[in-house]
Amino acid sequence: RPTWCLEPGVNYTAVFDTTEGKIRVALDKARTPETVNNFVVLSRYGYYDTTMLFRFDPSIDIIQGGAPNTNDWSDQGPGYNIPDEGGQFLSTASGQILGPFAYQQGDLVMARSSGPDSSGAQFFFAAGPQTALLDANGSYIVFGRADEDGIEVLQSMMNLYTVDPTSQYGGGPSRDVLVQSVTIEVD
């Protein structure tokens, strides 16, 4: 895992410069310090620069990215995973992980596999109200929230969605949507 870089008494904001506009996200280091630290370190190393937002899913209103090696789900990530945090996580008899999170439009959330402690670098934005359908699972770690202007950019991105039966995701944006850079502001 990356070295610790967060400073006490400092607030962190991630600024996503995308081909569709800027998204400013206040990062929640109080509830999710490990996740925020991981994201800040990766951002400062340019991990997310010139990557695609590769998955648009209007059935749950998410826009996913953070896969610089493959620009899809199969990306191997940064070579490590970070621990689950932000509340209690439970494993069901079927092996499903249930967590403490609820989702609302504008949230920045870590993507994960079905196992515990399985987040690494991929993230998604909650771009609309349908993301609340993930509340029953609650295991995707919410670690930031976009401002109102950023939420408008996310809504305009979702409006680019078109159905494409040949896509592994069932569709996607009508044009490539890129994260040109992620910068971290402190105050």
What would the pLDDT profile of 105-138 be if each residue is shown by its tens digit? 999 999 999 889 999 999 999 999 999 999 999 9
- 159 token code pair: 């409006």
- The vertex-84 CA angle with 103 and 76, nearest 5°, equals 95
**What's this model's pTM, rounded to 2 decimal places?**
0.96
User: Residue 140 in 3-state DSSP?
Assistant: coil
Report d(CA 142, CA 65) in Å as an integer. 15
Q: Give tens-digit pLDDT for 92-109.
A: 999 899 999 999 999 999
